[in-house]
Amino acid sequence: MSHVTIIGTVTAKPEMREELQKLLSAQVAPTRLESGCINYDFHVDADDPNMFVFYENWRSQADLDAHMKMPHLLPLVSEVDRLLSRPVEIRHLRMLSGIA
């Protein structure tokens, strides 16, 4: 089974930007400790400070599925309607170069 790469984009309502950034930042450390997490990198768009992007590689789809059920995601999941200006966008990628 091959690994899974995703890019997740989360866009804040402008007035909720700081709160959302704190919630998203808090996801990094516990996610990186999860079984199957190869990397979990948190970014902000260079042109839009309300747009946050995660670049993630997982050992398998099962590991990603387990991540999506982790309790540390609950503070974000329970507040998406209040914090986000649009739904979370998740792009699934197929890596051609392989992991270095």
> Cα separation of 87 and 36, whole Å?
26
Q: Is the dihedral of CA 8, 14, 15, 18 positive or negative?
A: positive
- In contact, 72 and 40? CB cutoff 8 Å: no
- In contact, 23 and 75? CB cutoff 8 Å: yes
pTM over 0.85, yes/no: yes
Q: Which amino acid is present at 64? A: L
- In contact, 77 and 17? CB cutoff 8 Å: no
Q: What is the dihedral of CA 13, 27, 39, 17, to 10 degrees?
A: 20
CATH number of this structure's domain 4-93: 3.30.70.100
Over the stretch 39-70, which tens digit does the pLDDT of each residue have?
Answer: 999 999 999 999 999 999 999 999 999 999 99
- Higher-confidence residue of 1 and 49: namely 49
How confident is the model at residue 21, as a pLDDT? Answer: 97
Domain ranges for the chain, please list them: 4-93
